[in-house]
């Protein structure tokens, strides 16, 4: 979420996202969400645990759209899960 010409305080933007988005609220309630505000980029970034992102994707499928191809978020989640599985198995 970028502030273009408006001065939206980061705390207000966080509260609005938590109140308005079911997925963000789910992640926040499970303490899997982290808000970061890099001042040099002037935007609010949201980070969440991969496990809870997958659960949120299953609970709120309409948030990601009904595309036949995978988007960046789906590719990222699958990649992270595969990395953790390969680390757990050990490299052969």
In this predicted model, what pLDDT tens digit does every residue of 36-58 receive, in sequence order?
A: 988 887 788 889 888 898 888 88
- What's the distance, CA 65 to chain centroid? 15
In this predicted model, what pLDDT tens digit does every residue of 72-87 receive, in sequence order?
A: 666 677 777 777 778 8
For the cut 50, the answer to whether the pLDDT of residue 3 exceeds it is no
Dihedral sign for Cα 6, 11, 14, 16, please.
negative
């Amino acid at each position: 979420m970028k502030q273009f010409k408006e001065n939206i305080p980061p705390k207000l933007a966080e509260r609005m996202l938590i109140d308005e988005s079911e997925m963000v609220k789910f992640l926040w309630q499970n303490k899997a969400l982290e808000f970061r505000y890099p001042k040099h980029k002037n935007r609010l970034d949201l980070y969440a645990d991969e496990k809870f992102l997958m659960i949120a994707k299953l609970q709120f499928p309409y948030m990601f759209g009904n595309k036949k191809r995978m988007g960046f978020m789906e590719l990222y989640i699958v990649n992270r899960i595969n990395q953790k599985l390969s680390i757990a198995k050990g490299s052969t």
